[in-house]
Amino acid sequence: MQEFLKDLDQDQLSAVKYCDGSQLVIAGAGSGKTRVLTYKIAYLLSIGVKPWNILALTFTNKAANEMKERIGILLKEDAARRINMGTFHSIFYRILRSNVNEINYRPNFTIYDENDSKVLVKNIMKEFGVDDKKYSPGQILNTISYAKNHLITVDEFLMNDRTNIIGNIYNEYVQRCHIANVMDFDDLLIKTYELFSKKTDVLNNYADLFKYILVDEYQDTNYAQQKIIELLYKKNVCICLVGDDAQSIYSFRGANLEYMLSFPQKNNFKIFKLERNYRSTKNIVAAANSLIKHNEHQIHKDVYSNNDEGGKVRLKVAHSDREEACIVCKEIKRLIIKEKSDYKDFCVLYRTNTQSRVIEEELIRQAIPYKIFGGLNFYQRKEIKDIIAYLRLIVNSDDEEAIRRVINYPVRGIGESTMRKITDSARQNHVSIWSVLSDPDSYELDVRRNTKNKLAAFHDFIEEYKIKSKELDAYQLGTEILEQSGLKNEFYSNDSPENVSRQQNIEEFVNALQDFVDNRNEEGVPDVYISDFLQEVSLLSNIDDDNNENTVSLMTIHAAKGLEFPFVFIVGLEENIIPNVHVSSSKEIEEERRLLYVAITRAQNYCCLTYSKSRYKYGIMEFSRPSRFLYEIDPAYIDNEDINLKFNTGVTINDNHFSIPKATILNKRIPSKVIIKKYQDIKESHDTYEESDSDYSIKVGDIIEHQRFGIGTIILLEGRGDNKKATVKFNNVGTKQLLLKFAKYKVVKC
């Protein structure tokens, strides 16, 4: 009957067969966590436990469905279909639906998605006269969500300040939802908690029904979820909590690792450890272990692998983020041939979505198919499309879609009704919308004088920058547009999570502009205008999407949780990237370390870490420092290409040593030599790359080190004086032609 148990190792089997009390299963990376959960449920059913007496809580519907399917295969019966298995929200929805009279809702209540909730918040703000420049609907909704997930009621929120703007919106939001007979996703948690805590008979009914409770990814549960589990916990209930404290990376969603570390110990849970990693090679597991051991707050475990030893974790160093992208692409192509692999076997991981831009561009240039997971392609993100729409309009004022996108963004009082009249007039007269905007009186545009003035102001703004577009380079024009259009104020009005992400994307866009100008200058193109940049971007973003599944995967480390790939690249391992610039406390640093641990343990056979000695930040080339975490990985498991990076020096790293002041996005353009001098004072070990002297005393065969492209050999020299050009074959980025007047390099070997 239980033949399926032979598929388990001894540790897995012990965890599966324990049914005499509550247990905490600490499942190391790649140790078969999902298998243990699945087999435990199958085992419970095989020993006579009724399916309706089992409650299994997961974090995704996909995980629940896959587990049900697997249980059905193991037992060759349909009992799995009657198990109370699903996400926290889906299970609690069913409980609330069954007890709707107890929560003062009508039986036909519906659920708001995030967009529905945001629209409601926006309408309330408008009615309350709240300035959406000071408080964004997204920011307020995030605050409400945080309060609900921490079981903070409206009364508690307003306890200390009845004039609290967000608190009053929270109060109105709750009342409106109740009147409309709707709940949002957070309500499914807080209403279930209120039901169980206020209605003891209902709680007892479910505690008696659920004899066995199993919770997947327990380290990712938030406060509300944890308190509900605690309410259901009784002596006659066996709870199985499965998770890995070393993979707790979602504190920004409310996850609280402390509960995992304290609740089971407080209640005398029996602890099981799954320490064998079935996913990765010995070297990858050992490297990850040597990193995570530096965390103080953790449950000790000795994760090991019986797989092949495999190659060491690679460490590749780039001179710039551009070279870093080239190194990754070059290595992918090499491994495709050497290992006879497919593109789908490769994954590139990064800390934030903004880092994908340079990687994407290089993948496109080298014709390597890729897919972004958990986010849009960089140039398809809303805030980037907004900026580009302004730039497109300056280059081509007849671009109708660009006009529609920005004519009232940021808000300038040109509504849909006005836009309809403009469009109708353009259609009737067979002219472009811009033609009507340019001379509304000639086309007898029927709008108020005040509206005409707003249209004229928008028209004049674009016309002004059409003239400037012939005078300013792409970087200068782009940053001015950001400033003068109001987009900068729109994105920097507050530091909500939504806006911080937008700010990071805007900053990366500025980097793209500066990078583009510098590249063209070095190639001997002195005048680099916004039209040139838009042409480049259109070629990058208009690549055909043929839904080819054989693609390289690009995603944030957070998005990669639970996934695995034969070949993994982790890019941008620098201070202020990972650990992120916004973290400071030891608790936050430990989560950043866990984040890198998760990234490394996604790799099955090959793991490559990369960092760049310099990268554009806010449109300015800055020197970067290797991430402190690189110093914590045992060098015995690292194939280190950077002989200057000293590992495990025994020196305690002070957090302040690594701090670099955050610049503002729209700094005036500063000559590279000034910036280099500035950061030379901070980090003396970095070489400087001065713009070359006028004699350009180099010859064919010389080996140079370029600030962004790295090491290369001069293969051809042409021209004289300020027009002298060098063709250089670089080790990683291919052949480049540089105008020596602008090139930043030093000769390393004659």
For 361-379, give one letter per residue: b (16+ CB within 10 A) or e. bbbbeeebbbbbeebebbb
Write down the catalytic residue from 87, 143, 247, 514: 247
pLDDT at residue 646, as a whole number: 55
- Tell me what percent of the residues of the chain surpass a pLDDT of 90: 44
- Is 35 within 8 Å of 25 (Cβ atoms)? no
Is 652 part of the annotated catalytic residue set?
A: no
724 or 571, which is more confident: 571
Asked whether the predicted pLDDT for residue 735 surpasses 60, the reply is: yes
pLDDT at residue 652, as a whole number: 35
Mean pLDDT score, 287-297 = 95
| pTM (2 d.p.) | 0.73
pLDDT at residue 178, as a whole number: 85
pLDDT at residue 637, as a whole number: 95
pLDDT at residue 522, as a whole number: 83
The string of pLDDT tens digits covering residues 650-674 is 333 333 333 333 333 333 332 333 2
pLDDT at residue 163, as a whole number: 65
**CA angle at 408 for the pair 395 and 499, rounded to the nearest 5°:** 95
pLDDT at residue 547, as a whole number: 46
- Tell me what percent of the residues of the chain surpass a pLDDT of 70: 90
pLDDT at residue 402, as a whole number: 85
Alpha helices in 447-496 (DSSP H): 449-468, 474-484, 487-491
Is 78 part of the annotated catalytic residue set?
A: no
740 or 292, which is more confident: 292
Write down the catalytic residue from 34, 38, 352, 551: 34
| pLDDT band with cut points at 50, 70 and 90 for residue 591 | very high
Is 324 part of the annotated catalytic residue set?
A: no
Return the minimum-mean-pLDDT range out of 93-97, 385-389, 424-428, 548-552: 548-552
The string of pLDDT tens digits covering residues 479-522 is 999 999 998 888 887 777 777 888 888 988 998 899 889 888 88
Return the minimum-mean-pLDDT range out of 271-280, 294-303, 505-514, 530-539: 530-539
Helix-helix angle 137-149:185-198, to 10 degrees = 30
Pairing of strands 23-27, 238-243: parallel
Asked whether the predicted pLDDT for residue 688 surpasses 60, the reply is: no
| pLDDT band with cut points at 50, 70 and 90 for residue 548 | low
Is 602 part of the annotated catalytic residue set?
A: yes
3-state secondary structure 306-351: CCCCCCCEEEEEECCHHHHHHHHHHHHHHHHHHCCCCHHHEEEEEC
Question: How many contiguous H segments (helices) and E segments (strands) does the chain have?
Answer: 26, 22
Mean pLDDT score, 685-709 = 69
CA distance 114 to 456: 37
pLDDT at residue 1, as a whole number: 54
